[in-house]
Amino acid sequence: MNTTTQETRIAVVTGGSRGLGRNAALAIANKGIDVILTYRSRKDEADTVVAEIAALGRRAVALPLDVSRSAGFTDFAVQVKGILASQWQREHFDYLLNNAGTGVHAGIAETTEAQFDEMVNIHLKGVFFLTQKLLPLIADGGRIVNVSSGLARFALPGYAAYAAMKGGIEVLTRYMAKELGARGIAVNVVAPGAIETDFGGGAVRDNAQLNAFVASQTALGRVGVPDDIGGVIASLFTPDLRWVNAQRIEASGGMFL
């Protein structure tokens, strides 16, 4: 099943141990693509995803990565290069999903510089420089998907610092697409609405009042689940969507229309 040929496509998924990254990693594997996924602290969860992908007949490897620490990105790229050579006899991978991250919930008046810097480091600086370090390892003709948020389009009190970074990611996506087009690399950004994951302490999933509020503001009448997102991301790595480039694709069930 795990044949290693030149045709094998490989995706790197950051934050693949839980939530949307996990769901996307499985959806990507279901499209016949092998996966290198990363985790920050939950190695056990990452190993479970690796086993689930293996059960689908694809090869997967989990590596530790803190996307808030750009000083570690050169070492990470070296690790990926080594894994590509040892596991796939390849020098390149094909697809990059910049997904990993956490949020901060604080009003503008209360947000600390430390919270703001954390958001910059994870969502903006991390995506910028991780992609930069991995560029030599991405095959020409590959694809990149960044993850934004519905909160970059509509405003909810308490998400200013987080959403400002996601807005930055949407601009960065267009610049990546412009510069990397010469290598045949398409770059898009997926903006999920509120999805039931561990994100934000699992508030959207576990706080019944918040859950009902989000559902009431969503045209399709419910809160999103990870299965609503992984397939959208995985589709962007398939030939069907090869001409889609530099686009913001919101997957929110129609929030705040």
* Active-site residue list: 162
Closest approach of Cβ 213 to ligand NDP, in Å?
13
SS3 145: strand
Measured in whole angstroms, the distance separating CA 220 from the mean position of its chain's CA atoms is 24
Residue 151: both structure tokens together? 């909160």
Residue 101: name the closest of 154, 31, 155, 166 by CA: 166
Contacting residue, 11, 35, 80, 122, with ligand NDP by CB under 6 A: 122
Our CB check for ligand NDP shows the closer of 19 and 168 to be 19
Residue nearest to ligand NDP (CB): 19
Q: Which of 94, 96, 101, 251 binds ligand NDP (CB under 6 A)?
A: 101
Kind and range of the H or E run holding 11? strand 10-13
Helix (H, G, I), strand (E, B) or coil at 244: coil
Q: Mask: binding to ligand NDP, 212-251, rule CB under 6 A, as x and -? A: ----------------------------------------
Q: Using an 8 Å Cβ cutoff, are 50 and 75 in contact? A: no
Q: Is residue 119 part of the contact set for ligand NDP (CB under 6 A)?
A: no
User: What burial class does residue 75 get, using C-beta atoms within 10 Å of its C-beta: 0-12 exposed, 13-18 middle, 19+ buried?
Assistant: exposed
**Any contact of residue 133 with ligand NDP (CB under 6 A)?**
no
The minimum distance between CB 7 and ligand NDP, in angstroms, equals 29
Exactly one of 66, 94, 228, 250 binds ligand NDP (CB under 6 A); which one?
Answer: 66
Position 170 contacts ligand NDP (CB under 6 A):
no
Concatenating the DSSP letter of every residue in 12-81 gives: EETT-SSHHHHHHHHHHHHTT-EEEEEESS-HHHHHHHHHHHHHTT--EEEEE--TT-GGGHHHHHHHHH
Cβ closest to ligand NDP, residue 52 vs residue 198: 198
- Tell me, residue by residue from 181 to 200, as one string, x for binding to ligand NDP by CB under 6 A and - for no binding: -----------x-xx-xxx-
Q: Of residues 13, 65, 134, 255, which one binds ligand NDP by CB under 6 A?
A: 65
- Residue 97 in contact with ligand NDP, rule: CB under 6 A: no
Q: Ramachandran region of residue 246, left (φ > 0), alpha (ψ -120 to 50) or beta?
A: left
CA distance 37 to 58: 13
Question: Is residue 89 close enough to count as binding ligand NDP by CB under 6 A?
Answer: no
The answer to whether residue 99 forms part of the interface with ligand NDP (CB under 6 A) is: yes
> Does 15 interact with ligand NDP (rule: CB under 6 A)?
yes
* Alpha helices by DSSP H, the chain: 19-30, 43-55, 73-83, 113-119, 126-134, 160-180, 199-206, 208-216, 230-235
Q: How far is the CB of 221 from ligand NDP (least distance, A)?
A: 17
Contact window for ligand NDP (CB under 6 A) among 33-41, 129-137, 179-187, 239-247: 33-41
Residues of the shown chain interacting with ligand NDP in the complex, contacts defined by CB under 6 A = 15, 17-21, 39-42, 45, 65-68, 99-103, 122, 147, 149, 192, 194-195, 197-199, 204
